[in-house]
Amino acid sequence: MSVSAAISAEQTEAARLACADEHAFQLAQNATTSTGIRKAARTMSSVAHATTSFDIQLEQGEPTNQQRSGRCWMFASLNTMRFRIMKKLGLKTFELSQAYPLFWDKYERANWFFENIISSANEPLNGRELAFLLFDPLCDGGQWDMFRSLVKKYGVVPKEAMPETANSCNTADLNKYLTRYLRSGAKQLRDAAAAGESVDELRQLKAELLQGVYRFLSISLGEPPQSFDVRIRDDKNELKVSGTYTPQQFFSEFVDMNLDDYISIINAPTQDKPYMRSYTVKYLGNLVEDGGVRYVNLPIEALKRVAVAQLKDGLPVWFGSDVDQGFLRDDGVLDPAGVDVDTLFKLPIEAGLDKAARLDYGESLMTHAMTIQGVNLDAEGAPVLWRIENSWGDDHGKKGYDIGSELWFDEYVYQVVVDKKYLTADELKAYESEPIELAPWDPMGALA
């Protein structure tokens, strides 16, 4: 006997009757329709467990705020760097310009996009790779390797040297209109390639297009300073810095960080990505001369081990996660047990997929970058709770911080950036091996 593909009236009636006389269903319905799913599923025990005092607790400045932009990867990176400046100069708070790397990232990413258009000139316009390149060439998101490239080339500046603008705080229109310009440029380049023009001729056209990109960014964000005057006083009102610096000089003297020592470690427990292997992602990057990203895939215990080691040495940790999973935003709590939707609905919603399956079936990937500023350890020295600096302002969570459980780290952290000295010899050898190239749409190519 064949089974119909359509939903029958009998099926629907059976589903209705299964709910009708259940007391727990009525309670869940009342709570959920009144407050929303996440609030109805909120567990008080997870909120109570989220302490604000930690075994290892680094002190950072005032919380930063990315506002209505997708620059979390920049904010998280700059937060690791301003920490060093504050420590070096004895400052209570300090902030680096986030508009400055935004300008150069858009500029460099436009060049990266045009180069990819040139190299793929023979690809069909309706093919998957061209569709990927054209879909969102200028999004705000990024990864650590991309930020490292920006800073190595352009340095950093204090926030007062290039302050926020209406368009850096809310990048929607900037991205909308500049993306339209880039797609127009892509058509010009493909048309020129189809007409038989050489790569050198295409790059000359690209140079003209990039002049337009610079003009657009300068009007929207202001021009980035080639040099700037700066005066910085410490908590005792003593003048610690006074002079004129280039962005590269300022980074070298006050951040004092060997960027090449800091590498990305990912956790992707899927069958297609064996551990102890190096990976890159096709078309992912921003500076043409630096190439793309690289990371080594390790078990989650390795990510926790190196993160704790760097915290013990007094330095914060950049990391990328799927932030909305198990998130009680108002409480500043990141914990899968904190949002118990499975009990609320009596369905295997959270339990239905493990971490590997969530990646394989499009349920999860890295969406947000933040900075780990502390950790609680159990009697054996294993991490049980993480203190996380966000970039959503001081009215978010616990005065700008979130608290992440051990389970949340296991399930939803995908990337950490640490000094390579914390890796074992075998792990470092795996990182330095020839990377396997992943498809452009692979979940580990997601941008925070």
What does the DSSP assignment read for 359-403? HHTTS----EEEEEEEEEE-TTS-EEEEEEE-SB-TTSTBTTEEE
Task: Report pLDDT for 392.
Answer: 97
Task: Report pLDDT for 49.
Answer: 87
The least confident of 19-23, 252-256, 420-424, 429-433 is 19-23
Q: Tell whether 379 is covered by a domain.
A: yes
Mean pLDDT of 432-438: 98
* Judgement on whether residues 32 and 115 belong to the same structural domain of the protein: no
Mean pLDDT of 13-36: 94
DSSP code for 349: S
Task: Report pLDDT for 448.
Answer: 95
Instruction: Answer yes or no: is pLDDT of 1 > 80.
Output: no
d(CA 144, CA 128): 26
Q: Tell whether 307 is covered by a domain.
A: yes
Task: Report pLDDT for 319.
Answer: 98
- In this structure, what token pair is assigned to residue 311? 């915290």
Q: Tell whether 106 is covered by a domain.
A: yes
Beta bridge partners of 369: 320
Task: Report pLDDT for 375.
Answer: 98
In sequence order, the 6+-apart residues with CB closer than 8 A to the CB of 227 are 244, 245, 246, 247
Q: Tell whether 3 is covered by a domain.
A: no
What's the burial of 388, exposed, middle or buried (CB within 10 Å: 0-12/13-18/19+)?
Answer: buried
* Judgement on whether residues 36 and 105 belong to the same structural domain of the protein: no
Instruction: Answer yes or no: is pLDDT of 221 > 80.
Output: yes
Task: Report pLDDT for 345.
Answer: 96
* Judgement on whether residues 264 and 352 belong to the same structural domain of the protein: yes
Q: In the structure, what pLDDT confidence band is assigned to residue 282 with cuts at 50, 70 and 90?
A: very high
Task: Report pLDDT for 34.
Answer: 97
Q: Tell whether 48 is covered by a domain.
A: no
Q: In the structure, what pLDDT confidence band is assigned to residue 225 with cuts at 50, 70 and 90?
A: very high
How many CA atoms are closer than 13 Å to the CA of 331, on its beta-carbon side?
22
Q: Tell whether 49 is covered by a domain.
A: no
Number of domains in the chain: 2
* Judgement on whether residues 120 and 61 belong to the same structural domain of the protein: yes
Share of the chain above pLDDT 90, in %: 97
Task: Report pLDDT for 79.
Answer: 98
Q: Tell whether 2 is covered by a domain.
A: no
* Judgement on whether residues 22 and 155 belong to the same structural domain of the protein: no
Task: Report pLDDT for 160.
Answer: 97
Mean pLDDT of 386-392: 98
* Judgement on whether residues 36 and 79 belong to the same structural domain of the protein: no
* Judgement on whether residues 368 and 330 belong to the same structural domain of the protein: yes
244-269 burial by CB neighbour count: b if 16+ within 10 A, else e? ebebeebbeebbebebeebbbbbbbe
Whichever domain contains 286, its CATH number is 3.90.70.10
Task: Report pLDDT for 2.
Answer: 85
Residue 28's domain comprises 9-41
Q: Tell whether 317 is covered by a domain.
A: yes
* Judgement on whether residues 62 and 26 belong to the same structural domain of the protein: no
Task: Report pLDDT for 419.
Answer: 98
Residue 57: which of 303, 386, 404, 406 has the closest Cα?
386
Instruction: Answer yes or no: is pLDDT of 347 > 80.
Output: yes
Mean pLDDT of 439-443: 98
Instruction: Answer yes or no: is pLDDT of 230 > 80.
Output: yes
Q: In the structure, what pLDDT confidence band is assigned to residue 21 with cuts at 50, 70 and 90?
A: confident
- Positions annotated as catalytic residues are 72, 368, 390
Q: In the structure, what pLDDT confidence band is assigned to residue 292 with cuts at 50, 70 and 90?
A: very high
Mean pLDDT of 354-369: 98
Rounded mean pLDDT of the chain? 97
* Judgement on whether residues 14 and 110 belong to the same structural domain of the protein: no
* Judgement on whether residues 186 and 290 belong to the same structural domain of the protein: yes
Instruction: Answer yes or no: is pLDDT of 40 > 80.
Output: yes
Task: Report pLDDT for 88.
Answer: 96
* Judgement on whether residues 183 and 37 belong to the same structural domain of the protein: no
* Judgement on whether residues 18 and 111 belong to the same structural domain of the protein: no
Task: Report pLDDT for 20.
Answer: 87
Instruction: Answer yes or no: is pLDDT of 218 > 90.
Output: yes
